[in-house]
Every structure is written in structure tokens, then in C-alpha cells.
Amino acid sequence: MNHNQLPIAIIGGGPVGLAAAAHLVNQNQPFVLFESGSRIGHNLLSWAHVRVFSPWKYNLDKVAVKLLQQQGWQTPDEDGLPTGASLVEDYLEPLSNLPQLKPYIVLNAKVVQINRKGLDKVKTKGREAQPFVIQVEQGEEQLTYEAKAVIDASGTWQNPNPLGTGGNFALGEQAHADHIFYGIPEVLGKNKARFANKNTLVVGGGHSAINSILDLRKLVSDYPETEIHWVLRKENLETVFGGKEKDSLAARGALGKRIEKLVRTGKVKVYTPFQITEIHTQANGRLQVVGQQQDALKALENIDQIICNTGARPDFSFLREIRYNTDAALESVPALAPLIDPNVHSCGTVRPHGEAELRQPEKDFYVVGSKSYGRAPTFLMATGYEQVRSIVAALVGNWEAARQVQLNLPETGVCSNNLTQKVTEPASEELLTQNGGC
């Protein structure tokens, strides 16, 4: 097959990967999309019960919506706050089932290697003329595909950071994996038995950790022996509480107020700053978690379960033979690092960016979506949609459109006056997080 007639390969069937597919369809470009899970939006479904801060209007790609509406799809309430499940069931699955997309989506397809045909990373001569070769594991089969370009939208959610200090596994962490939940458990649902009347240690200083704690606290009313311990690496606990009533996002502000109240009343035992170094099994079968607090070693005894909410990191293992660059600190696309550094920026202060910033040494290879941000937690779906719009424009030769990068977000990233009206105090009792957001 002629190089130019080959499809463009998309890795990842989440919001940004499917948006890339929609834009390619809109440009009459062939594509193939690989999703490692058994359903589209596999990563989102792992936190299906969680509600995001950003309303629907910031979570929908315009071209995808256009394709859906042509088939009679009804747009959700633009100011409503979707859960992970509704993002998949009400948006991503209908999009993936469109006749223009469905035949070219491969599920249960884990990409294990990408290279230029017949070339390793070292070879330069004739490199750009060769197609990409994508090796895929699908069940027991190993399949090979060729593509003229690759858009890596595989995300980071499936690669959680470990519990240990310095970004490393704590001694004994992997040996005690059956006591550790990486992600956001459904504490009040299918995971209830795991945490009811147990001593649970939550590790992390972000909204995922807060959500886990608030749900564990709800468990106490029916299971009064449930105890909650909270380990953070942060020096200042006040930064975790956020803007509270001053927060432009009412839902996020409500979380801050609620977690502060629990901490102030002693209903959550807090250890900060605390760096976990070791995990051991006690004689009674429960866990001892050892760490550095201030200048002394401290041991937390009789822990039954640990919830790890320490963030995520990108996986580059399958890109070994591709020429790509990452920032040394954030593991993001290098040009994005000064724009998204969480030490400086929130999601709302990141300026729009597109193909030019995302360009890699390997021609026609791009890392997009949350993976393009590396370890920075400030990614927004709307930002990813603009990334792939610009990249697809470049891949079809429309460089003017590729350069005209635009993104309308309020200063906080997802704040709006209407949101305050939509999210009342009862609504703030729901589990709210910013996965897929900031």
C-alpha cells in the first residue's frame, strides 16, 4: 500500500483519542484506533462513580458533537457535571458506535511496540519515508499494523505513582499489593466490604484522596469501627483545603470545606509531612506503615487497607524505538513544561497550544492528552481536544488552521457563574473529583 494511503494510528480510546478519530473522519482521513480495554473509555470506567468538576460544555469535542448530532444524538445539559460512567455511556460509546468510527476501532488491543518499518531508533537515512509499524497484543494474538502517522493518547491513569518517598516503591509495597488500592475505590458500592469497619490509610494530597476520605467517612454511620488515617507529603495542610467558599468552582470549594471540617474535628487522623519508606506485616496480620515525619521515623500500626491517591505517570516503554523527547522533571512534552508546571500554573492559566508545541523529533508522531502533560495534574479535556484539532489540521497539510490555536476557558480553567447555581450544597455531597480535568 502507498505510504499516503495508510491510516493514522491512534493509541487510546478515551475522550482525546476519540476526538482525534472524529477530526480525522471530518477530514476524510483513514484511521485505526487501539484501545487496550474491553470497552471504549476503559480508564474512565475505573472511576465510573466519580463526578468531575468541569461541566459537560468543557468535556465535549465540537467536531465529535457535530457527527453525533447528525445521527440524532441529544447533547447533555451543558452545565451538568458528568460522572465517569456518563462520560462513557452518554458520549464516548455513542461516538464510537457511529458508522464512520466503529469499523476502525480495535478493542482489547494493547500496543507493545512502535517503530519505523525496517529501522531501529538509530537509523536516520530514509527514516521519514518509512511507515510506522505498530505491534499489538490482542488476547493470545500478536498483530502488526502499518500507519503513516501516530497519535499517542494513551493517558496516564493506568500507571499510578507508588506510595514510597521520592516517587519510588516503598520497601514491601509490592509484596503487600493485595492490601493496596491504586485509584478511587467505590467505597459505598462494590468495594464496601473491603473498607467497612477497617482501619484505612489514604495516601495523597489531591482531590482524589479527599474523595476517598469523604466516602470513608460516610461509611462510619453504618460501620462505626471504620477508622480513617491520612498521609500527605505536603508541608502545609491549608493548601489542600483550597479556596473553599472563594473557589470559583462551587463543587471544588465544597470539598475543601468538608475535608477541613473533618480534620479540625479529629474525625480523620492526619500525618503530614509524612514520607512512606516501608510496609510490614504485623503478627496480627495487619500492616505497619513506616515513614519519615519531620526529622523522626514514625510507625503507623494496625492498618488494614491502603488507598493510594498519589497521582499517575506516563508509560513510554512501547516507544523505545521512536525518537521522542520528554521534559526531565515533568515527563511532559518538552515545549509544554514551562506552560504547565504545577509549581506555577493551575489548569486555567495554561495557554492554548497545538501541533507546534507538541511536535516531536520523529516526524508525524505526537503525544497528546493527559500523557502530553506527563506528571502535571493540570490537564483539561478541552485542552486535549484543541491539541488533536491542530494536529489533524497539520497532518492534512492545513498549516494555517494548525497554527490558529484557540481555547476559551475562564481563568480558573472550568469556572462559570452558572456552575454555582447548578451545584448546590446537597449536590456537593456527591463524590466529586477532577479526573480528566485539573
pLDDT, tens only, 156-188: 999 999 999 888 999 999 999 999 999 999 999
- Give every strand in the sheet of 274-281, ordered side by side: 274-281, 287-293, 296-303
Q: Which residues face 11 on adjacent strands? A: 34, 152
Last residue of a domain, one of 245, 278, 311: 311
Euclidean distance between CA atoms 237 and 241, whole angstroms:
7
CATH number of the domain bearing residue 56: 3.50.50.60
Residue 208, domain member (yes or no): yes
| Residues 284 and 141 both lie in one domain | no
Of 200-214, 235-249, 406-420, the range with the highest mean pLDDT is 200-214
Residue 15 phi, psi (nearest 5): -55, -45
Please give the residue that has the higher pLDDT: either 348 or 180. 180
| Residues 218 and 240 both lie in one domain | yes
Quote the percentage of the chain above a pLDDT of 90. Answer: 70
Last residue of a domain, one of 254, 280, 311: 311
| Residues 175 and 69 both lie in one domain | no
| Residues 365 and 307 both lie in one domain | no
> What per-residue confidence (pLDDT) applies to 1?
62
Residue 433, domain member (yes or no): no
Q: For 32-62, write each residue's pLDDT tens digit.
A: 999 999 999 999 999 999 888 788 998 999 9
**Residue 11 pLDDT level (bands cut at 50, 70, 90):** very high
| Residues 17 and 95 both lie in one domain | yes
Using omega within 30 degrees of 0 as the cis cutoff, is the peptide bond preceding 273 cis?
yes
| Residues 16 and 153 both lie in one domain | yes
> What per-residue confidence (pLDDT) applies to 345?
60
Q: Where is 421: in which H helix or E strand?
A: helix 417-422
Residue 437, domain member (yes or no): no
Mean pLDDT of 302-324: 96
Of 56-60, 280-284, 422-426, minimum mean pLDDT range: 422-426
Residue that is written with C-alpha cell 477508622 in the block: 227
Q: With 60 as the cut, is the pLDDT of residue 432 above it?
A: no
Residue 436, domain member (yes or no): no
Q: Which residues face 303 on adjacent strands? A: 287
Of 49-53, 294-298, 427-431, minimum mean pLDDT range: 427-431
Q: For 382-394, write each residue's pLDDT tens digit.
A: 999 999 999 999 9
Mean pLDDT of 95-101: 98
| Residues 290 and 273 both lie in one domain | yes
Residue 138, domain member (yes or no): yes
Residue 224, domain member (yes or no): yes
Mean pLDDT of 307-319: 95
**Residue 413 pLDDT level (bands cut at 50, 70, 90):** very low
Average pLDDT across the chain, whole number = 87
Mean pLDDT of 314-333: 96
Predicted TM-score of the model (pTM): 0.88
C-beta of residue 369 within 8 angstroms of C-beta of residue 153: yes
- Please tell me the total count of domains within the chain: 2
- Which residues constitute the domain of residue 224? 165-311
| Residues 295 and 173 both lie in one domain | yes
Euclidean distance between CA atoms 362 and 139, whole angstroms:
29
Mean pLDDT of 111-128: 96
Last residue of a domain, one of 262, 278, 311: 311
| Residues 170 and 300 both lie in one domain | yes
Residue 413, domain member (yes or no): yes
| Residues 318 and 347 both lie in one domain | yes
Please give the residue that has the higher pLDDT: either 249 or 363. 363
| Residues 390 and 244 both lie in one domain | no
Euclidean distance between CA atoms 356 and 335, whole angstroms:
9
> What per-residue confidence (pLDDT) applies to 238?
60
Residue 383, domain member (yes or no): yes
**Residue 128 pLDDT level (bands cut at 50, 70, 90):** very high
| Residues 366 and 406 both lie in one domain | yes
